[in-house]
Amino acid sequence: MLYELFYKRFPKIAEKETRKIISFGDPGLPDGEYALIESYCSDPNCDCRRVFFNVYSPQRREMLAVIAYGWESREYYRKWFGKNEAWILDELKGPSLNTLSHQSELAPALLQKIEWVLQDGQYVARLRKHYRMFKAAIDRESCG
């Protein structure tokens, strides 16, 4: 699966709707801003229903973590992936640190913050909407 940045196809929406975490006085996370830059699967034959958050720090000018999040049920991912191994289902459903990506020393603390952010049902609905928009654009491109 190849993941592509949402803002590459929808820059105006991404600029307006990218969620940021602002840390102040948190002992586990330095003060500053952390942008959750969304990426989605660009394979037209894939329906993974997941987002990858590329967590970027403008203060440090670097990507600090890549966190995957799948919003469907474990059963959905078991059927979709075709395996029933608990650790795989946990990573697919997420949120989880993407095991194949470089992670900074702050990645575990950022994962905790994202777990908290994902309790916002409206935000999760926005992610699902972005996924559908992105996949529709991929479909149009592959048919065109």
Q: For the residues of 24-77, what is the DSSP string, one character each?
A: SS-TTS-SEEEEEEEEEE--TT----EEEEEEEETTTTEEEEEEEEE-S-HHHH
Q: Is the pLDDT of residue 16 over 80?
A: yes
pLDDT for residue 32: 95
pLDDT for residue 1: 62
pLDDT for residue 143: 74
Distance CA 41, CA 48 (A): 8
Roughly what angle, to the nearest 10 degrees, separates helices 86-93 and 74-81? 110
When pLDDT is cut at 50, 70 and 90, the band that residue 2 belongs to is confident
pLDDT in tens, 71-119: 999 999 999 998 888 888 888 998 999 988 999 999 999 999 999 999 9
Q: Domain residue spans in the chain? A: 3-143
pLDDT for residue 99: 87
